[in-house]
């Protein structure tokens, strides 16, 4: 199936590793030109060398002026952007017990820069009938505890997906959201290793995922993102999608082992 993404310019925030890197690989495999906005030059440059295409822009995404200047560099060096993937974010544990400034900082790390990127790329997206893919989190639906800033940010991403879909429909711009749940990434693996018994913790989590009792692969998230961005998904907008093996919405009674 030809996804008609050849030579499309795709900006992926946080694209140097984890789910972001899988998304970059997915677009490159379809002939698109990925632009990585990230603060990890070694990983980003190594990824570009691996896939044989793309550009890296060293951007601290909490600095709005850096974002603006980086978009100017993109226009000067590469051209107009066709697709924006708002992937960057961090589950930073800014819970209720933290100072309100920690909550504000969490919003800056997870919510403000997606708006800024969409704002600065608005003309590109309108001109090219482009699209936006937001990467959310199951935390917006399920809660997690101890992470108010991240949960609020990802809940807002779901809402902004539908708000922007309305704003941009008259320009032919589509906006959708993809929700990872339990995805095995290097960061997730580090978190598991903090458990007293990492293997036991991993097995327990797998047991709660209805489909095949396994983690979602980062490549499976990327496959849906790439499809949603393609011409083969040309009448899909304002949707929040869950490639999570049924984790978010299926009854836990089905999966939770008896105590």
> Do 94 and 147 form a contact (C-beta atoms < 8 A)?
yes
Round to whole Å and give the CA distance between 252 and 255. Answer: 5
Beta bridge partners of 133: 85, 176
Let me know if 150 is a catalytic residue. Answer: yes
Round to whole Å and give the CA distance between 45 and 24. Answer: 12
30 exposure class (CB count in 10 Å sphere: 0-12, 13-18, 19+): middle
DSSP-assigned letters across all residues of 139-182: HHHH--SS-HHHHHHHHHHHHHHHHHHHHHGGGT-EEEEE---S
Q: How many CB atoms lie within 10 A of CB 145?
A: 10
- Encoded tokens for 100: 């309100």
Task: Tell me which of 150, 188, 242, 247 is the catalytic residue.
Answer: 150
DSSP-assigned letters across all residues of 59-107: --TT-HHHHHHHHHHHHHHT---SEEEE---------TTS-HHHHHHHH
Round to whole Å and give the CA distance between 91 and 110. Answer: 8
> Do 250 and 23 form a contact (C-beta atoms < 8 A)?
no
17 exposure class (CB count in 10 Å sphere: 0-12, 13-18, 19+): buried
Catalytic residue numbers read 150
């Amino acid at each position: 199936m030809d996804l008609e993404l050849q030579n499309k310019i795709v900006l992926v925030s946080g694209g140097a590793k984890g789910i972001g890197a899988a998304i970059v690989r997915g677009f490159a495999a379809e002939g698109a030109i990925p632009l990585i906005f990230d603060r990890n030059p070694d990983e980003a440059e190594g990824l570009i060398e691996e896939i044989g295409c793309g550009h890296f822009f060293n951007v601290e995404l909490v600095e709005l002026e850096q974002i603006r200047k980086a978009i100017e560099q993109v226009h000067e060096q590469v051209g107009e952007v066709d697709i924006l993937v708002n992937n960057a974010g961090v589950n930073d544990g800014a819970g209720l017990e933290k100072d309100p400034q920690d909550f504000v900082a969490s919003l800056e790390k997870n919510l403000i820069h997606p708006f800024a990127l969409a704002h600065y790329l608005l003309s590109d997206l309108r001109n090219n009938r482009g699209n936006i893919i937001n990467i959310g989190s199951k935390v917006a639906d399920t809660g997690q505890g101890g992470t108010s800033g991240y949960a609020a940010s990802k809940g807002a991403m779901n809402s902004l997906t539908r708000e922007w879909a309305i704003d941009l429909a008259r320009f032919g711009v589509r906006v959708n959201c993809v929700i990872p749940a339990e995805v095995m990434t290097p960061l997730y693996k580090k978190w598991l290793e903090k458990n007293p018994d990492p293997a036991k913790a991993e097995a327990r989590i797998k047991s709660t995922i209805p489909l095949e009792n396994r983690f979602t692969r980062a490549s499976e998230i990327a496959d849906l993102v790439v499809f949603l961005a393609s011409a083969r998904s040309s009448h899909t907008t304002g949707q929040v999608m869950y490639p999570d093996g049924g984790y978010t919405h299926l009854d836990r009674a089905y999966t939770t082992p008896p105590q």
